[in-house]
Amino acid sequence: VGERRGKGDNMATLARSVLVTGSNRGIGLELVRQLAASPRPPQHIFATCRDASGLRGKVSAWGCLPARGARVRIWDLGSWPLLGVYTVDLPSIRGAMQTVETHLEGQGLNLLINNAGVGSQATLQSVDAQEMLATFAVNVVGPLQVAKVCEFLPLLEKAAKDAGTEGLSCSRAAIINVSSKVGSIGLCLGVLEAPMYPYRASKAAQNMVTRCLAEELRDKGILCAAIHPGWVKTDMGTEQAPMTVERSMQGILEVLGILSQETCGAFLDWEGNRLPW
Ligand code: NDP
């Protein structure tokens, strides 16, 4: 298992194995790219998305990767339903889990990053039940299902058990949920400028899932935290966003490297600042 890193440690091994959801574009894609291009990349990077074909092309365009020894493996994790369905595509999650297990050859999965998410601009006038449910399905039910006892959790528990250390860290075993500052009830930022009722409510609910997971899994040696990436130029963040995806991911990877017992169950931004729930 990779050792704990400090800020400015120039990307020592964050974790031996990492799985990222929603990795075909935006934040997920850049996370996978930076992990794979780091001087000491994880031994296993599992890049999951709902249409693997486009991602394969992008990853093979990063020609330098095999030379650096990073193995990026790509899976179609199925489509998380957008239409008021309360479950995600369990068969595809289970299929991916079994394949991941095979590749890990008896080792556990160290780091699960629940990044896949959907935005929603619905206002008080335009919001409807279907939009609320669709957003909750992807942003709340999805991350919870992926982390469930019957899905990836046993692989994380295995990693935590086999690490041979006591403290909590991403190199041992962790679930990171990519959240958003606009889901903070404590801050309740700019409601009139950015109403986004479904998105805000879904991220607040996802935050509660993160807190509950942190409480429940802490004693099993699994760290859970929520990370706000900043306002980032992606399809969701739009071109108006002030920050590049490269800068945001550099920050996030540094923050992930210093997460510990003290930050288990925390809501942090890409610079490591604590945010109110
Ligand atoms: P993008 O819209 O660029 O990418 C979203 C990713 O989520 C894509 O990989 C997409 O897959 C996947 N996804 C969307 N809907 C589904 C679904 N129904 N089932 C499975 N996967 C799905 O967004 P970002 O990269 O900007 O966002 C990534 C995360 O960061 C999200 O959780 C978002 O809430 C969060 N975030 C982003 C901010 C920003 O400014 N960009 C700010 C704060 C938080 P596909 O290509 O197949 O649609």
pLDDT in single tens digits along all 277 residues of the chain: 233 444 444 446 899 999 998 888 999 999 999 998 888 889 889 888 887 777 777 877 775 444 444 556 665 554 443 332 334 677 777 888 888 898 899 999 999 999 999 999 899 999 999 999 989 989 998 899 888 876 789 999 999 999 988 899 999 999 999 999 999 999 999 999 989 999 999 999 999 999 999 999 999 999 999 999 999 999 999 999 999 999 999 999 999 999 999 999 999 999 999 999 9
Give the DSSP letter of residue 243: B
Pocket of ligand 1 (CB under 6 A): 22, 24-28, 49-51, 79-80, 82, 115-118, 138, 178, 180, 228-229, 231-232, 234-237, 241
Pairing outcome for strands 72-76 and 174-178:
unpaired
Q: How many CA atoms lie within 13 A of 70 on its CB side?
A: 27
Q: Which DSSP helix (H) or strand (E) runs through 255? A: helix 245-258
User: Which protein residue's CA is at the shortest distance from atom 22 of ligand 1?
Assistant: 116
Pairing outcome for strands 111-114 and 72-76:
unpaired
Q: Model-level pTM?
A: 0.91
19, 20, 27, 77, best to mutate for ligand 1 pocket (most atoms within 8 Å of CB):
27
Domain ranges of the chain: 17-269
Pairing outcome for strands 174-178 and 44-49:
unpaired
pLDDT of residue 118: 94
- The CATH class that applies to domain 17-269 reads alpha beta
pLDDT of residue 74: 65
- Give yes or no for a contact between 70 and 41, defined as CB atoms under 8 angstroms apart: yes
Q: Measure the CA–CA gap between 149 and 151, rounded to whole angstroms.
A: 6
Give one DSSP letter per residue of 89-128, joined into a string: -HHHHHHHHHHHHHHHTT----EEEE---------TTT--
